[in-house]
Structure 1
Amino acid sequence: MKKIYILALAVASLLTTTSCEDFLTEDVRGQENLDTYFQTEAEADKFLTGCYQAITFDDWWQIDNFWNLCDMCTDDYWMGNTTQDQSGYISLAHYQGTGQENGTIANFWQYRYKGILKCNIAIERIPQANIADENKKNLLIAEAKFLRGYFYFELVKNFGGVPIVKGFVMPEEISGITRASEEDVWALVEQDFKDAAAVLPNRSKQAASETGHATKGAALGMLGKAYMYQGKYAEAKTCLKQVIDSGEYQLMENFGDIWDVDHNNNKESIFEVQAIYDETYALGSFRSIISGPRDVSDQDGWAWGLPTANLEAAFKEAGDDIRLKWTIIKNGATEIAGEDNFAELVEAQGNKNGDGTYCIPPKSHKSARISRKIFIPYAKRPEKFEKGRIPLGQRILRYADVLLLYAEACNETGDDATARKYLNEVRNRVKLPGVTTSGNDLRQDIRKERRLELALEGHRLDDLRRWKEDGEPLIAKIMGPNGSFVKWNTDPATRDSYEWDNQKEASDKGISFDKSRDLLFPIPLYEITMSNGTITQNPGWK
């Protein structure tokens, strides 16, 4: 079965447009040239594979690391690892205002634009390809537009207005480029998703060999998210309802199956990064290792990104036992949801706690907790349990997210009955009673539900930035010197003993949050320098 794997051949990065006239009189043998590429459908297909590969590229530090950082900037995740240098995360995750030269930010910016370049080339050159099937040609272009829209979506929501680059242009052609307005970038995102949705097939019409490719549902779902982030609730309602009414997606019956390694591309998954285990090539995902426990066995992780006690308390307050056990694993656990070989797992750890329980050493883990969503059961682990070899697909957009966004859009436009219907559909899966609230109370219920349903999946920071409370972004109520998260973690009545006893990562994370600065990440300093100042910095960053 053909799939778009995380480390699919990056065909686009192997192509060159450099003239050889300076040192040779003929083309370099063994290299492809864009002027002679795109002669066949097969070549266009291969190039598009390179565009998909740009979602995460070929290692953890380009994109996955940034996704991890975003969760660290919320009340759901600590940096976690307290035995190694934290400088790559602390300036931003703890809102210290010194992140312009942050490597994680710089890499993400650079590689998102590399992905955009690949898509621009595909959009520009595939129309010239010798592809007899016009529908196939249009499909390839639509997929490239979907991916470009997604890459710009990730940039604009994190940095605000960014430079817009269309087409295949050389560096000298964009000299003096400036940042487009946020509105103009959102307009590009919307148009790319609209163009893609008009051409892409429904998932049920997609060949098995095309698993992992964008679909109409993915384009409409992402367009709906784009509308929600801009507060365009009426437009979002229309768009998201199309995804629901398509009948293409359903909630998984068991919450624990959503992220199960045996249920990649399940009926709830709308768009997902593909991954397999390959002994020779790194074709798998990274998060199970990046955020896995360390100092316990030869199958260690790195412990970057660990769930907070505050998140655990939110599950308990809601009486949400099902999602709690499938979201957080805690040091001293006597069982792990879905782990049928618990005794063997503990033995492989060397019984580090000395009592037959699962060990997440508190001395090296801020919260002594890890994410269950990316945990791989012992018997399902590949022979080489290491980064790039974990066969767990990355769920980027799933149906529960769409249902909750639709419920939110309905509530914001005064249709509380419909909002309750779809909110309760999500709650019913995990045996929670239906809500009967309206107005602002219903709004709060939807927000709580998004935190619990989508915890540790990379949505929390976006939600906290876009939601308003008393006219302010909600994140300004949670972070800052009077923020609820800071107070919760430092108050003896509520603070967690594991977290308080390990101050190698400070418990007052977020105390320096500044709403005039921290609603966006800083533009990488090198971009400003290389542009000779035509690209300007976000407010508040020095």
Structure 2
Amino acid sequence: MEVMKQYLNGLILVVLLLCSTACTKDILDKTPLDQYSDETVWSNPELASSYLNYCYDGLGHGFQSVKASNFTDEAIFGRGASTTALLNGTMSPDASLSNHFMEPYRWSQFSQIQRINKFLGKIDGIADTYPEGQKADIKAKTDVLKGEALFLRAFNYGNMARSYGGLPLLDKAAELNDDFSTITRATFEETINFIVADCDAAAALLPLKSQQVLGRANKEAALALKARMLLFAASDLTAGDVSGIGINETNALVHYVNPNRVALWTAAKNAAKDLMNLPGSSLALADFGAASGNKETVAQNYRALTGNSTTPADGEFIFAKMFDQALGTRHRTNQVDGPNGYDGLYGRNAPLQRMVDEYEMEDGSNFFDHYYIEEVSEGSGTGRYIKNKPDAGFKSPNPYHNREARFYANVLYDSAIYNIEPRPSSLKLRDPLGIYDRRTRITINADGSETVLYGLDTRNGPIVAGNGNYVGYLTMKWVQQGVTGSTGYNSNIWPYLRYTEVVLGYAEACWELGEYGETREWVNFFRNRVLLPNTTATDAELRDALRHERKIELYGEESRWFDIRRWLIMDETMTLPQYGVDITEVTDKRQTPEKVTTTWKYNQAMPNNVLINATYWLPITTTERQKAPQLLQNPNYRQD
């Protein structure tokens, strides 16, 4: 609560500061009674801290209606066609990115850099306004604030660097009379070095998470961000062979020139290890109750970590966005992600079928070890049905039986219980339990006539059918227990940096350096904590096993778009059919006893994506380049 009050005060402060510029000269000559002057703000560490809260708010968060997952092979926005420029092959400098990608990763974040640079230009002078005997104490406070600002600058630069490559490196606030024509893009290597330097400087000033106010930057966050950026930098997109995607490796804006891959991977590994070995840190990887041996318990705990955590106090969280409903900082994920068969819920964040198929069976075997896709000619097309293999170890024809705990934690699937809120009273007689109902029921009566009953959560359901998604699944990862989606607001946190990501990055760097035993140890850790057995992958196969664990563990956390780009696998992940599932249950009453047959059939949930090489990097928009024509464009876009 204290953090959010500080935020509100900070927001009011910034608004007042901005409004003050519109006042007449006569008013400006007076001492304002309802606002702080610039001189007052930069002579008081508490007011400076409030100013910094506005910069925290500018980080944004991932609880949006359209999510970063929707631009990857994870999930789709539940209702519409694949029309965004990133997905339909029309991305260009003229595209309206405001409709196509999340704000925190776009060029517009330079407004954040300006605010932070203003803060950094003033913060060191605050202690000098105090008597000699107080300076040391004031400097101790402002040094922490400076560390926070350096971290925030690195965080914003890191998001943009992973989207654009090399950036203009601005380390002081711009003034109106500055010559902006001299601002150019630095190389990618220079940009990474700039971010890493800010992370190092921030880490030196910041306290440990356990000693810092929850929600504010801490030492672990600075080290984690450094590890994230060095992992990205060492990867194939910026240090490997990119000739296959139309990029020249001498293009220093988006690639290291003559990179030393061993040195880059070693730097990434060491950065992660520095955090993992940090003395006094309270970070800890959760085991989700694996010692109980109970899959249901593990699934409940796994979901609760992201669905019910309202502060980043848990050792898994390094840095996160907090929400406080009383102060108006909130989100409505339960409404956006909840099933459309409930009043006012939208059913929009829908995992694709291939994401669902990624989850293993409870014994650690691959889903397709037990199931196959039967192709059947149907009119002018082909029907694709999920079928149980005759010799499969798991005999259930239902593909949702006997799956691993993370599947039940993350995915809302047909016949699962949606225990977040009750059905509307008008539907309780039909469904008193709250079963997610995606199947169409066809009854063949004794006289041969047919009756059809559509599932409550389908696109033919009784409550806002159009809100039903085409895929058949929903994401449960962010749904908060006890929140009524149509009227309530969520307060669960958005994780910017999680310890799991750092350790997975460490394991990846180890594999790239040939340290397979270390990688295997961590792959097994992440599997064992959700009751899966050790991996059977060979050393050569271990990288794919690790990437699989990363895909499952970081699902929905805005990691996948960066991963498929840095691994250069967009061609094999983003061009596959956009399948969902249609479920049909047929009851034949002409037979004695009556026969019930259920089928799970792939459907074309969305138009297939069209991949162009340009989308490995975002373009600098035409509008921005008209303002600053000296800014060179990214590869595979027109250069005029």
- With normalisation by structure 1, the TM-score equals 0.82
Structure 1 residues 131-280: aligned runs within 5 Å: 132=135, 133=137, 134-173=139-178, 175-176=180-181, 177-206=183-212, 210-231=213-234, 232-246=264-278, 247-254=281-288, 255-262=302-309, 264-265=311-312, 266-278=314-326
**Match of residue 93 from structure 1:** 87
Shift of 1:212: 0.9
Is the Cα contact below 8 Å between 1:407 and 1:419 reproduced in 2? yes
**Match of residue 324 from structure 1:** 407
Task: Kindly provide the amino acid, as one letter, of the partner of residue 456 in structure 1.
Answer: G
Is the Cα contact below 8 Å between 2:154 and 2:196 reproduced in 1? yes
Residue 300, structure 1, aligned to residue 325, structure 2: no
**Match of residue 480 from structure 2:** 376
User: Residue 70 of structure 1 is aligned with which of 52, 68, 71?
Assistant: 68
Is the Cα contact below 8 Å between 1:13 and 1:50 reproduced in 2? no
Task: Kindly provide the amino acid, as one letter, of the partner of residue 90 in structure 2.
Answer: Q
Shift of 1:189: 1.1
Residue 335, structure 1, aligned to residue 417, structure 2: yes
Residue 396, structure 1, aligned to residue 471, structure 2: no
Task: Kindly provide the amino acid, as one letter, of the partner of residue 535 in structure 2.
Answer: V
Is the Cα contact below 8 Å between 1:4 and 1:273 reproduced in 2? no
**Match of residue 97 from structure 2:** 102
Task: Kindly provide the amino acid, as one letter, of the partner of residue 47 in structure 2.
Answer: E
Shift of 1:175: 2.4
Structure 2 distance, partners of 1:74, 1:371, is 15
Task: List per-residue Cα deviations over 1:236-282 (Å, max 9, x = no partner).
Answer: 2112112222352112232223213246322211111111222xx42
Residue 15, structure 1, aligned to residue 17, structure 2: yes
Structure 2 distance, partners of 1:148, 1:457, is 21
Task: List per-residue Cα deviations over 1:348-372 (Å, max 9, x = no partner).
Answer: 6846986852254345412132211
Residue 513, structure 1, aligned to residue 611, structure 2: yes
Structure 1 distance, partners of 2:275, 2:304, is 21
Cα distance change of structure 1 residues 415 and 373 upon mapping to structure 2, 3 Å threshold: same
Structure 2, unmatched stretches of 5+, are 235-263, 289-301, 368-402, 437-455, 460-465, 582-598
Aligned length in residues: 494
Cα distance change of structure 1 residues 349 and 416 upon mapping to structure 2, 3 Å threshold: farther
Task: List per-residue Cα deviations over 1:79-99 (Å, max 9, x = no partner).
Answer: 2223xxx68x62223333356
Cα distance change of structure 1 residues 5 and 158 upon mapping to structure 2, 3 Å threshold: farther
Cα distance change of structure 1 residues 289 and 155 upon mapping to structure 2, 3 Å threshold: farther
Cα distance change of structure 1 residues 228 and 106 upon mapping to structure 2, 3 Å threshold: closer
Is the Cα contact below 8 Å between 2:220 and 2:275 reproduced in 1? yes
Is the Cα contact below 8 Å between 1:275 and 1:393 reproduced in 2? yes
Is the Cα contact below 8 Å between 2:348 and 2:474 reproduced in 1? no
Residue 524, structure 1, aligned to residue 624, structure 2: no
Residue 405, structure 1, aligned to residue 501, structure 2: no
Residue 81, structure 1, aligned to residue 79, structure 2: yes
Structure 2 distance, partners of 1:523, 1:496, is 44
**Match of residue 427 from structure 1:** 527
Cα distance change of structure 1 residues 220 and 353 upon mapping to structure 2, 3 Å threshold: farther
Is the Cα contact below 8 Å between 2:286 and 2:316 reproduced in 1? yes
Structure 2 distance, partners of 1:6, 1:312, is 42
Equivalent position SS for 2:319: strand
**Match of residue 58 from structure 2:** 54
Structure 1 distance, partners of 2:143, 2:358, is 47
Structure 2 distance, partners of 1:274, 1:444, is 34
Cα distance change of structure 1 residues 174 and 7 upon mapping to structure 2, 3 Å threshold: farther
Structure 2 distance, partners of 1:5, 1:524, is 37
Task: Kindly provide the amino acid, as one letter, of the partner of residue 630 in structure 2.
Answer: T
Shift of 1:376: 2.1
Shift of 1:497: 4.2
**Match of residue 261 from structure 2:** none
Is the Cα contact below 8 Å between 1:528 and 1:535 reproduced in 2? yes
Is the Cα contact below 8 Å between 2:207 and 2:219 reproduced in 1? yes
Cα distance change of structure 1 residues 111 and 333 upon mapping to structure 2, 3 Å threshold: farther
User: Residue 116 of structure 1 is aligned with which of 113, 116, 129?
Assistant: 113
Task: Kindly provide the amino acid, as one letter, of the partner of residue 165 in structure 1.
Answer: L
Cα distance change of structure 1 residues 496 and 398 upon mapping to structure 2, 3 Å threshold: farther
Task: List per-residue Cα deviations over 1:200-251 (Å, max 9, x = no partner).
Answer: 1122333xxx111111111111100111001122112112112222352112
Structure 2 distance, partners of 1:323, 1:311, is 12
Structure 1 distance, partners of 2:430, 2:185, is 53
Equivalent position SS for 2:495: strand
Is the Cα contact below 8 Å between 1:203 and 1:216 reproduced in 2? yes
Task: Kindly provide the amino acid, as one letter, of the partner of residue 314 in structure 1.
Answer: E
RMSD: 3.2
**Match of residue 126 from structure 1:** 123
Structure with max Cα Rg: 2
Structure 2 distance, partners of 1:349, 1:520, is 49
Structure 2 distance, partners of 1:165, 1:50, is 19
Is the Cα contact below 8 Å between 2:6 and 2:53 reproduced in 1? no
Residue 539, structure 1, aligned to residue 635, structure 2: yes
User: Residue 357 of structure 2 is aligned with which of 309, 313, 320?
Assistant: 313
Identity of aligned residues (%): 22
Structure 2 distance, partners of 1:353, 1:534, is 65
Is the Cα contact below 8 Å between 1:142 and 1:196 reproduced in 2? yes
**Match of residue 44 from structure 2:** 40
Task: List per-residue Cα deviations over 1:91-118 (Å, max 9, x = no partner).
Answer: 2233333562232459553652222222
Shift of 1:399: 1.6
Cα distance change of structure 1 residues 346 and 31 upon mapping to structure 2, 3 Å threshold: same
Equivalent position SS for 1:230: helix
**Match of residue 442 from structure 2:** none
**Match of residue 474 from structure 1:** 569
Is the Cα contact below 8 Å between 2:196 and 2:226 reproduced in 1? yes
Cα distance change of structure 1 residues 368 and 36 upon mapping to structure 2, 3 Å threshold: same
Task: List per-residue Cα deviations over 1:269-305 (Å, max 9, x = no partner).
Answer: 1111111222xx42123544444444x444424x444
Is the Cα contact below 8 Å between 1:333 and 1:357 reproduced in 2? yes
Equivalent position SS for 2:77: strand
Task: Kindly provide the amino acid, as one letter, of the partner of residue 187 in structure 1.
Answer: N
Structure 1 distance, partners of 2:536, 2:5, is 43
Residue 366, structure 1, aligned to residue 470, structure 2: yes
Task: Kindly provide the amino acid, as one letter, of the partner of residue 224 in structure 1.
Answer: A
Cα distance change of structure 1 residues 297 and 233 upon mapping to structure 2, 3 Å threshold: same
Equivalent position SS for 1:486: coil
**Match of residue 470 from structure 1:** none
Equivalent position SS for 1:173: coil
